[in-house]
Amino acid sequence: MPQHRPLPVRERARRAVRAELVTLAQDLFAAQGYERTTIEDLVAAAGMSKRTFFRYFTSKEELVLGKHDVWAERLLEAFAARPADEPLWDSLRRTFDVVVDYFDDEAELSRTLAMEKVIHSNPALVAGELERISRVQNQLAEQIGARLDQRSADDPRPAAIAGAALSCLIAAKNAWTGGGHTQPFGELLDQAMAALRPT
């Protein structure tokens, strides 16, 4: 398994503050509504100045979609840490455990559902979510291409593999949300990825 350097202390602290702000914002958005919650509300609840707040986030939209940025970082780190000789589709499935853990966390269930509702009731947030998914697909495709030694810009295979895997993730999320989250998210993801498993 590849060896990775631990994150510098400053970067770990930055991520911890961002995660704390995201959680706090999600609670406010769920309680007050996205549109009614202001930056002033957020900084007051966080006990920090606007200037400090804007070091971590540039807008309310970024706060709502901040989980996607956190997931992106963790997904890329998780994929890079997978064994090089592991079947690629298996590596991608294990990489997605980052997201599975989020959706299968019973303690966070009400917040998770509230934020899915906030995002999907606001067209700008839906667009932002799709943009972030596209960005992750491109980054993941680069890592897949490097692993397969297929780094040519005109080779569509790494992007196709990344897109197919992320489509499975999205399909599982939609089924989990639409199905009343009665089945564990990980099982839904396993089903989706099994449907496209290379033979």
| Enclosing domain of residue 116 | 65-195
> Within this chain, do residues 104 and 166 fall inside the same structural domain, yes or no?
yes
> Within this chain, do residues 144 and 80 fall inside the same structural domain, yes or no?
yes
- Single residue among 28, 43, 59 that ends a domain in this structure: 59
Name the token pair of 105.
């966390």
Residue 173 has pLDDT above 50, yes or no: yes
- Single residue among 59, 75, 107 that ends a domain in this structure: 59
What are 24-37's pLDDT values in tens digits? Answer: 888 898 888 899 99
> Helices in the chain by DSSP H: which ranges?
9-32, 39-46, 50-56, 60-64, 66-81, 88-95, 97-103, 109-120, 123-148, 157-178, 185-195
pLDDT band at residue 1, thresholds of 50, 70 and 90? very low
> Within this chain, do residues 92 and 54 fall inside the same structural domain, yes or no?
no
> Within this chain, do residues 69 and 4 fall inside the same structural domain, yes or no?
no
Segment 145-171 shows an average pLDDT of: 90
Residue 142 has pLDDT above 90, yes or no: yes
Residue 152 has pLDDT above 80, yes or no: no
What are 17-69's pLDDT values in tens digits? Answer: 888 898 888 889 888 889 999 999 999 999 999 999 999 998 888 888 877 87
Task: Residue 17: give its domain's CATH number.
Answer: 1.10.10.60
> In total, how many domains does the chain have?
2
> Within this chain, do residues 97 and 180 fall inside the same structural domain, yes or no?
yes
